[in-house]
Structure 1
Amino acid sequence: METTKQLTLRFASIIPYEESDPFPLENIPFGVFVNPNEQEAHCCTRVSSFVIDLALLENDRLIEADNVFRISSLNRFISKGKDYWLYVRKTLQQLLTRDNPNSLTPEQLAKYAFNSSDAKMHLPLKIGHFTDFSSSKNHAQNIAVMFKGKDGSLHNNFVHMPIAYHSRASSIVVSGGQIRRPKGQLRMGEWGATDKLDFELEIGTIIGNANKLGHPVKLQQAEDYIFGYTLLNDWSSRDILLWENVPLGPFNSKNFCTTISPWIITAIALSPFKHPLPPQDPQPLPYLHSPSNFTYHIDLSVSLSTGKTEQTILTSNFKNMYWSPTQQLTHHTVTGCNLQIGDILGSGTVSGKGPRECGSLFELSGGESIVLENGEERKFLHDGDIVTLRGQCKGEGYVIGFGECTGTVIPALDNSEYY
C-alpha cells in the first residue's frame, strides 16, 4: 500500500488545496469529460477543483500511451491491466508534485487543466452488464420486519450466498441527469405512474479484468478483477416491485434508470481503508470463505432537496456490508459466468444499524412519512425532488472523495405516449 508516499505528496501539490479536499493527489480518480475547447470526450482525472485531460498528456508524450485516452470511455485504459493503472497513477502524481524533475510548469498545467465547473462529465464506461446484489444484512432485516412484522426473518439463503438479479446496463446514466417517473402495472388490473418512487444508496464495483466463459474466479484472485468503485443510485418503484417481484424478482421496477457518479475511485486509492467484514454465521462454503475477506470504511450520506430546502436525511457506512465485493464477484462467476471489463456489480442498499442509517427512503420511513426540517413530509419521492449521494474516506491528513451522484425526479409521460 502507498499510504506513506501519499501523505508526503499532500504537502507538495502544484495545485493547492485544503486538507479536507475530496480530490487530493492521494485519490487520482478516473472519468470522462467533454473538453470545452475541442468539444470532444476525453478520459480525465481530477485534482481539487481541476479536471486534467489525459488525452492531451498522451498527445505530448507525458504519459506512455497508444490512443488510450482520446476516446469516450475508460474501457481501453482499464483493459491495459493493473501494472498500467499503477504506472499512470504514479506518473500523474509525479507530474502534479512540486519540486519533482517531471512536474508540470504553470504553463503546461494551464494547457491540460480545466476548472471542474466548466467540465461536462460523461458516462465513464461502456457498460456491458449490470448485476445488482443484496448484501446488507441490516437492510434485509429492516425490510423483513416491514413486510412480516417485528418477528420477520431473513430469507434462508441470505447468509449462505450473495443474492442478486440482472438489471439493465442500457439505462445507467451519469450524475446530474433527470429521472422520469415510470409508469407500469401497479397491482392487479391497475396501471399508471408510480407513487412510490424511491432511491437506493449503493456502491458500484467496476470490473477491470475478464474471466473466460466456464472458468470461475477464485476468491483469493477476485481482487485482481476489480478496477475501482463508484457511487450508485438504484432508483426503484416500490409499488411496481411489490406486484411483479414473485416469482422472478425485480424487472420494470428497477430497469428504468440507475445513476452513477462520474468518478471511479480506484481500488489502489481505497486500499488504506480496507475494513474486516462483520462475522459471517454460518461460515460460508469454501469457495466464499476467507479470514481476510474485507469491505471498506466509506462514510456515505444522502441529501434530499425539495426546492425549498436541502438536508441530509441519512448516513451510512460501507463497512457494515455482510458480503464483500470480492465475494460478490466470486459468486457471480462460480457457475462459469464470464464477467467483462466495464461491467458493474451493485452492492445493494447500504444500511447501518441506527434509525437514520437506512439506505433508502422506504426503509428510512418505515412506511410512515418523515418530516423534513422545513415541515414538508416524505414517504416517497415527489416530482422535482433532487437526490444526492455522497461518499468519502478519511485518512490521516487527507480525504478520498467519490464526488456526487445526483438525479432530479421529473413527471411521468402523458398516457398518449403509451397507448
Structure 2
Amino acid sequence: MTWLDIPAGHPFGVATLPYGVFSTPADPHPRAGVAIGDWIIDLPSAVRRLEPSLAGAVAGPSLDALLAAGPRVWAAVRAALTTWVTDEVYRDLLGGHLVPARDAILHLPFTVADYVDFYASEQHATNLGRMFRPGQEPLLPNWKHLPVGYHGRAGTVVVSGTEIVRPSGQRGAGVFGPSQRLDIEAELGFVVGVPSRLGAPVAADRFADHVFGVCLVNDWSARDIQSWEYVPLGPFLGKSFATSISPWIVPLAALDHARVAPPPRTVPVQPYLDDAALGPWGLDIGFEVRLNGQVISRPPFAGMYWTGAQMLAHLTANGASLRTGDLYASGTVSGPEPDQRGSLIELSWNGDDPVKLPDGSVRAFLADGDEVTITATAPGPDGAVIGLGEVTGRVVPRG
C-alpha cells in the first residue's frame, strides 16, 4: 500500500518503481527519476534530503552512476524508495520531490556502451527458416547449441518518441534507395550495470550481479537491405540505422514474481550455458504491439528458448568484457500462434498475407507516417501489475 493516490492495478505501482531520466520546462537539466503512478520522484533531490549517503549513486544527467554502483547499492536505493512511498511519515518529506509525469520530458536513460542483439525465440527463428528455406530444416544446426546474435551499433540506440527516418541502402545489384520493406522487432533489452574484466567470462549464475534491469526494444529492420547484404557476415546497414528503447528501466528485483522456467531444452548445452542450478530465469512478460493505435500482435516472452542469463554467459564466453551501459536484446519475441508474432515479416508472412487494419488498409511492411508502439507487463506480488512502459516510433521519409 502507498499513501499516494494510485489506482489499483497501475503498471507503475509500488512493486515496479522503474528508473529513468527526465527534465521539465521549469528545470531543463536531465536527472534520474523513478516513476510511481502518475508521478516521477526527482531522485537526486529526494536522496539528498532523505538518504544523503546514496547521493553519489544517483547524481549526474543519466543513470550511469547507479548502474555502475552494483547490487548492494541497487538494493539500498530500492529499499529506500519503497519505504518513502509506503510509510505515511514520508508524505510531507517526499511530497516536494514529486513531479507530475505529464510535465516531464523523458530522455535516453543511460549511455549505451555496446549493443548486442540475439535471436532467442525458437518460434521466430523457425518462421524465418520456413520462409527462406522451404523444404529444409527451419533451424540451422547451431541454433539450439548457442544463443545466436550479432553486434549492433550503440550510437543509433534512441529513446522512445524519436522519429525513425526511413533508411536507404543497396536492395540488390545496382539498386540503391529507400527501404521498401521496413519492419519492426518487438524485443526485451537487458541493461548491464557492473562491468567485467577483459578475458574473464561471466558465468550464467552471475547474471543478477551484472544486469541492472530490463527495457523494451524495437529493433527496426530494413528487410530488403538486410537480405542483400547479410551474406557472409550478417546484419549491417539493414539494422544499424535505429534501435528504439523505452525510457524506463525496470530493475530485475521487480521481476521476481515473473520468473518462470524456460521451455524444455531438447539439445544438451555446453556447461557454461547450463543454468539449471541458477533457478528459473525465463520471464512471464506479455507484449502488445500496436500499429497506428491498433493491436496487431501479443507476443509472449515466457516461451523464449534462451534466457537473459544464458545470453550474458555466451556474450562473454570468449573473454569479451562487459561495460557499464551495455545493452543486449533478446531478438524478436514471437509465440506459436499467428497473432503472437513480433515482426511484420512474420505477421504478413514475408508480404504474402498482409496485415489488415480496422480502417481497411493493409500492411506488409511499414509506410511513411506509421507509428508503432510496443508495451509490456508482467505479474507482480499480490496480484500487482509490473509495467515496462512503452517504446514508440513514427516512420518519416528521408528529407
Q: TM-score, normalised by structure 1?
A: 0.91
Specify the SS of the correspondent of 2:41. Answer: strand
Cα deviation for residue 35 of structure 1 reads 3.8
Which structure 2 residues correspond to residues 194-209 of structure 1 after superposition, within 5 A? 194-209=179-194
Specify the SS of the correspondent of 2:140. Answer: coil
Matches of 1:384 and 1:349, distance apart in 2: 23
Asked if structure 1 preserves the Cα contact closer than 8 Å seen for 2:262 and 2:304, the reply is yes
1:361 to 344, 360, 364: 344
Q: 1:114 and 2:99 equivalent?
A: yes
Specify the SS of the correspondent of 1:68. Answer: helix
Matches of 1:333 and 1:68, distance apart in 2: 26
Cα deviation for residue 341 of structure 1 reads 1.2
Q: 1:104 and 2:87 equivalent?
A: no
Specify the SS of the correspondent of 1:65. Answer: helix
2:317 to 314, 334, 337: 334
Q: Which residue of 1 aligns with 2:329?
A: 346
Q: Which residue of 2 aligns with 1:404?
A: 390
1:124 to 103, 109, 121: 109
Matches of 2:210 and 2:59, distance apart in 1: 24
Cα deviation for residue 225 of structure 1 reads 1.3
Matches of 1:206 and 1:63, distance apart in 2: 26
Which structure 2 residues correspond to residues 183-222 of structure 1 after superposition, within 5 A? 183-222=168-207
1:301 to 279, 288, 302: 288
Q: CA 1:229–1:130 in 2, change beyond 3 Å: closer, same or farther?
A: same
**Deviation >3 Å, runs of 4+:** none
Q: Which residue of 1 aligns with 2:44?
A: 55
Q: 1:83 and 2:69 equivalent?
A: no
Look up the equivalent residue of 2:344 and give its one-letter code: L
Structure 1 gap ranges (5+):
1-10, 414-419
Look up the equivalent residue of 2:114 and give its one-letter code: H
Q: Which residue of 2 aligns with 1:38?
A: 27
Asked if structure 2 preserves the Cα contact closer than 8 Å seen for 1:300 and 1:316, the reply is yes
Q: 1:253 and 2:238 equivalent?
A: yes
Look up the equivalent residue of 2:325 and give its one-letter code: G
Cα deviation for residue 293 of structure 1 reads 4.7
Asked if structure 2 preserves the Cα contact closer than 8 Å seen for 1:229 and 1:267, the reply is yes
Q: 1:174 and 2:163 equivalent?
A: no
Q: Which residue of 2 aligns with 1:241?
A: 226
Asked if structure 1 preserves the Cα contact closer than 8 Å seen for 2:69 and 2:193, the reply is no
Asked if structure 1 preserves the Cα contact closer than 8 Å seen for 2:259 and 2:280, the reply is no
Look up the equivalent residue of 1:267 and give its one-letter code: L
Specify the SS of the correspondent of 1:177. Answer: coil
2:16 to 27, 38, 51: 27
Q: Give aligned-pair identity as a percent.
A: 37
Residue by residue over 1:42-91, the C-alpha shift from the partner in whole angstroms, topping out at 9 and shown as x without a partner, is 10101001011011113324352244334121110121111111111111
Asked if structure 2 preserves the Cα contact closer than 8 Å seen for 1:23 and 1:48, the reply is yes
Look up the equivalent residue of 2:284 and give its one-letter code: H
Asked if structure 2 preserves the Cα contact closer than 8 Å seen for 1:19 and 1:397, the reply is no
The range that moved more, 29-38 or 190-199, is: 29-38
Q: Which residue of 2 aligns with 1:6?
A: none
Residue by residue over 1:267-302, the C-alpha shift from the partner in whole angstroms, topping out at 9 and shown as x without a partner, is 001011101010111111111113235210001110
Matches of 2:397 and 2:372, distance apart in 1: 15
Asked if structure 2 preserves the Cα contact closer than 8 Å seen for 1:139 and 1:350, the reply is yes
Look up the equivalent residue of 1:162 and give its one-letter code: P
The range that moved more, 255-264 or 290-299, is: 290-299
Q: TM-score, normalised by structure 2?
A: 0.96
Size of the alignment, in residue pairs? Answer: 394
2:3 to 7, 14, 36: 14
Matches of 2:333 and 2:133, distance apart in 1: 21
Look up the equivalent residue of 1:298 and give its one-letter code: I
1:153 to 105, 114, 138: 138
Look up the equivalent residue of 2:345 and give its one-letter code: F
